Amino acid sequence: MTGKQRTALVTGGSRGIGFGIAKALMMQLDMKVMICGQSRETTERGVAQLRALAPGGEVDGAVCNVRSDQAVRELVARTVERFGSIDVLVNSAGVGHFGHVAEMTPEVWREVIETNLSGVFYCCHEVVPVMRAGGGGYIINIGSLAGVNTFAGGVAYNASKFGLNGFSEALMQDVRYEDIRVSYVLPGSVYTDFGGGRRAGKQDWALEVDDVARVVVDLLGHHPRSLPSRVEIRPSKPPRKK
Ligand SMILES: NC(=O)c1ccc[n+]([C@@H]2O[C@H](COP(=O)([O-])OP(=O)(O)OC[C@H]3O[C@@H](n4cnc5c(N)ncnc54)[C@H](OP(=O)(O)O)[C@@H]3O)[C@@H](O)[C@H]2O)c1
């Protein structure tokens, strides 16, 4: 993955952690970047912000609901058409809906599992053949510390993120000899709109999106023989538990 200008596809790149990663890939690694969100408004705004931050950089955006395998197929085709290859895939699109198992509707359960887990499968399913054709690549899945720590109200979210760990590790075994590396990053609390709004006071201690983006940039800087497959990153001083 050296020489030519590399291309990244960042799902959930319209806002939050995905946006921070897209920004870092453009500004620090001079990559061509395709972002997606599920809303036209946020996706267009994200592209405009990235263009303003990195004038002369190549960025495009597409509306794509990653819960739809057909929409993901179109997203990947559009990315290849626009930039010619996909060297890096970052799966950051995700939702957080929380609630007691007895009160959570099947619709909400499906939204969480289909976005956070099936959506990642659809993206990898479409992108791996593109990476193979290009001689390799790097896939980075944004998991969560909720993928290793359960909590009340987390039935859907915990299940999606625990599942993503298993998916990421099996994916790594599937593609490692095809020169495709897979890592998954497990952040603790990050200051974004995730899960229904920025919580008051969270900004004082939470991670910033740039902290997670730095992990992604560091991973991409590793020698091809080296694969830090799972990275946990947490706020160093969260509020003490009472
Ligand atoms: N924030 C945290 O504290 C935290 C901690 C650990 C892990 N994470 C994980 O980090 C990832 C990103 O979270 P975030 O904090 O950046 O959240 P965010 O600020 O709410 O942004 C979510 C992003 O995902 C996109 N998205 C949601 N559903 C989608 C769908 N069905 N199809 C396509 N795009 C979709 C959103 O697009 P729109 O703009 O169109 O809505 C947006 O770009 C998630 O996987 C989350 O589980 C977050």
Residue 119 belongs to some domain of the structure: yes
CATH number of 206's domain: 3.40.50.720
User: Taking the C-alpha atoms of 10, 11, 17 and 21 in order, what is their torsion angle to the nearest 10 degrees?
Assistant: 0
* Dihedral pair phi/psi, residue 184, rounded to 5°: -130, 140
pLDDT of residue 132: 98
Buried b (16+ CB within 10 A) or exposed e, 104-113: beeeebebbb
> Residues of the chain with pLDDT > 90: what percent?
93
User: Whats the size of the chain, residue-wise?
Assistant: 242
Amino acid identity, position 160: S
pLDDT confidence tier of residue 195, bands split at 50, 70 and 90: confident
Decide whether any atom of ligand 1 lies within 6 Å of the 18 Cβ. Answer: yes
pTM across the whole model: 0.97
Whether 239 maps to a domain, the answer reads no
Q: Which is the closest atom of ligand 1 to the Cα of 18?
A: 16
Domains contained in the chain, number: 1
Q: Is residue 123 part of a domain?
A: yes
Torsion of CA 40, 44, 45, 46, to 10 degrees: 100
Note whether residue 116 is domain-resident: yes
CA 54 vs. chain centroid, Å, equals 20
Q: Is the CB of 183 under 6 A from ligand 1?
A: no
Percent above pLDDT 70 for the chain: 96
Q: Annotated catalytic sites, by residue?
A: 157
Mean pLDDT score, 199-218: 88
Using the atom order of ligand 1, give the atom closest to the CA of residue 116.
45
Residue of 10, 11, 15, 168 with the most ligand 1 atoms within 8 Å of its CB, for mutation:
15
Instruction: Give the tens place of pLDDT for each residue, 106-133.
Output: 999 999 999 999 999 999 999 999 999 9
The domain of 189 spans: 7-233
122 lines ligand 1 (CB under 6 A): no
Question: What's the pLDDT tens digit per position in 15-71?
Answer: 999 999 999 999 999 999 999 999 999 999 999 999 999 999 999 999 999 999 999
Beta-carbon count within 10 A of 127 CB: 23
163 lines ligand 1 (CB under 6 A): no
Q: Is position 2 within any domain?
A: no
Q: Domain for residue 136, yes or no? A: yes
Report in angstroms the alpha-carbon separations of 177 from 91, 135, 140, 235: 21, 11, 17, 35
Q: Three-state SS for 194?
A: coil
Q: Give the pLDDT band (50/70/90) at residue 203.
A: confident
